[in-house]
Structure 1
Amino acid sequence: MKIVRAKEFQADRAWGALDIANMDGTTVRLHWTDQPYRWHVNDGQEVFAVLDGAVEMRWRVEGVERSTVLETGDVFFADEGCEHVAHPRGAARVLVVEKEGSV
């Protein structure tokens, strides 16, 4: 049993993570960040849920960049092959569910 108080978590670096669970090769991690990540494509599907703060999520479809602002409580699903990057607006805490070892 584990209880995580997301609003209290702060990493020592951008995108630092607290490992919450590994369920048969699928990881659940809480990330804290105040800096953008980098454009990437995951090794599988990814669920990205904003637990605190706001994040501008950018993704490319057939070379065309799109974006939306995710607020607390919003969830972004990146299917396999979806190129994307997260840009927090200030400090943010996000829950990421993805294949173990994914980018």
Structure 2
Amino acid sequence: MKIIRSKSFTAERAWGALDIANLNGTTVRLHWTDQPYKWHVNDGEEVFAVLDGTVDMHYRERSETGVSEHVAVLETGDVFYAQVGCEHVAHPRGAARILVIEKEGSV
């Protein structure tokens, strides 16, 4: 048993993480960041929950007519679900703490 006080978690670098659990190949990690990540597509599904702060989540949707880019503003308590193949990048507005649940070894 362990209790994690997410509001007090910080890391030495942007996107530093605290590994909370590995559930049969699915990782649960707490990230701290004050910098954008990079555009990426995960190997599997991803759940991205903002525990503290505000994050602009940029994502791209592909259709027969091309690619369109969108931005969703995620506030504390909001959850972003990225399906397989969803290209996205997180841009925090200042410091943020994010719980990420994804396939082990994902980008």
TM range (shorter): over 0.9
TM-score, L = length of structure 2: 0.96
Structure 1 partner of 2:26: 26
Give, as a single letter, the amino acid of the residue that structure 1 aligns with 2:22: N
CA-CA distance at 1:2 after TM superposition: 1.0
- Gaps (5+ residues) in structure 2? none
Secondary structure of the structure 2 residue equivalent to 1:19: strand
Note the 1:15-94 alignment, pairs <5 A: 15-62=15-62, 63-94=67-98
When Rg is computed on C-alpha atoms for both structures, the one with the higher figure is 2
CA-CA distance at 1:41 after TM superposition: 0.1
CA distance in 2, matches of 1:58, 1:69: 9
Alignment length (residue pairs):
103
Secondary structure of the structure 2 residue equivalent to 1:2: coil
Structure 1 residue 98 and structure 2 residue 102: aligned?
yes
Structure 1 partner of 2:9: 9
CA-CA distance at 1:86 after TM superposition: 0.1
CA distance in 2, matches of 1:41, 1:86: 12
CA distance in 2, matches of 1:40, 1:68: 16
Tell me the alpha carbon deviations over residues 64-90 of structure 1, each in whole angstroms, 9 at most, x when there is no partner. Answer: 100111000000000000000000000
The ranges of structure 1 where at least 4 consecutive aligned residues each deviate by more than 6 angstroms after the TM superposition are none
- Gaps (5+ residues) in structure 1? none
TM-score, L = length of structure 1: 0.99
Secondary structure of the structure 1 residue equivalent to 2:17: strand
Percentage of matched positions with identical amino acids = 76
